[in-house]
Amino acid sequence: MKAYISVDMEGMPYIVSSEHLGVKGSLYGEARKIATAITVHVATILHKHGFEEILIADSHGPMVNILVEELPEYVEIIRGFPRPLAMIVDVEDSDVVLFLGYHAKARTLKATFDHTYSGIVNYIKVNRIKVSECLLNAYVAGHYNIPVILVAGDKQLLDDDVSKYLPWAERVTLKSSYGRYSSRSPSLAKIKRELQDATLRAIENFKKKRVKPIKTNYPVSIELSFVSSAYADVAELLPYAERVDATTVRYTAEDIIKAYKLTELMILAGIALRRL
């Protein structure tokens, strides 16, 4: 069996400062150690219980966060950005998917670093449902009939999108947030114990077919709202896009894979504009 682990940072425990999140941040080294320890812990449990191959998608920011020297030999890792399907690339050959360090979608109350893919995004709707990165990536896995069996991250994400749309997935709270830059987390020892228990339950659920892939209807309607009209100006240049209002565009794609790539392209174009 083969497991796919997509690893983000904002939903990891103890990570509360912007200094944790970027390669030049004074606390970035600490954040890398935390994310690596949790990822290796889960990968080890999966391997001990029947998963011969584990593919890790390093999926935060520049996507070079995991300390590769800490990885066991049965693990492969995807690093670097940009890349197709960003946080969920090459998922199609896997049997199960796990999300670690995931956070709540943009404009969520009491959620650390709440956002959806980029700080320039106000919201993303897939077939009229406002999605988090978790749900968007789960739809991609679902396109290939692969279930998400575990999500670990910010409590608000787990209480919102995961409990509603992925109720069969095991949930592990890594942090309970007071706001964008503050949260409360258990000790790493307790987190590892909870992750072990939840991962074992997730494996059992998969083997007993208690989990399922989540799918969205095709064709896919995407509504992408930005925080500024300038980004929508750029996105509207694509022939697929219809301008809805000052900050929002809408477009339709054949499936979630094409929709994801179009969304990624529009956001990257907006980020490039911001840097001019």
Mean pLDDT of the chain: 97
187 secondary structure, DSSP code: -
Nearest to 249 by CA among 265, 215, 217: 265
* 86 lies in the same domain as 34: yes
Answer whether 104's CB lies under 8 Å from 162's CB: no
Give domain status of residue 255, yes or no: yes
Sign of the Cα torsion 12, 15, 16, 18 reads negative
The domain boundary, picked from 184, 207, 230, lies at 207
Give domain status of residue 175, yes or no: yes
128: left (phi over 0), alpha (psi -120 to 50) or beta: left
* 146 lies in the same domain as 238: no
Answer whether 250's CB lies under 8 Å from 241's CB: yes
* 229 lies in the same domain as 149: no
Question: Could you give the CA distance from residue 103 to residue 116 in angstroms, rounded to a whole number?
Answer: 9
- Domain containing 249: what range? 220-274
Answer whether 204's CB lies under 8 Å from 41's CB: no
Give domain status of residue 214, yes or no: no
pLDDT of residue 196: 98
And the tokens for 209?
A: 């077919």
Give domain status of residue 235, yes or no: yes
And the tokens for 155?
A: 């409590």
Q: How far is CA 47 from CA 40, 51, 72, 73, 154, in A?
A: 10, 5, 10, 11, 25
Please calculate the CA angle 172-180-116 and round it to the nearest 5 degrees: 75
Query: Is 0.85 topped by the overall pTM?
Result: yes
Confidence of residue 274 (pLDDT cuts 50, 70, 90): confident
Based on the structure, what is the number of domains in the chain? 2
Give domain status of residue 70, yes or no: yes
Q: What is the pLDDT of residues 135-151, one digit of tens each?
A: 999 999 999 999 999 99
* 184 lies in the same domain as 263: no
* 192 lies in the same domain as 244: no
And the tokens for 7?
A: 């690893």
Nearest to 6 by CA among 119, 130, 140, 120: 140
Sign of the Cα torsion 169, 170, 172, 177 reads positive
Q: What is the pLDDT of residues 137-195, one digit of tens each?
A: 999 999 999 999 999 999 999 999 999 999 999 999 999 999 999 999 999 999 999 99
Q: What is the pLDDT of residues 6-55, one digit of tens each?
A: 999 999 999 999 999 999 999 999 999 999 999 999 999 999 999 999 99
Spatial neighbors of 255 by CB under 8 A, at least 6 apart, are 143, 218, 219, 220
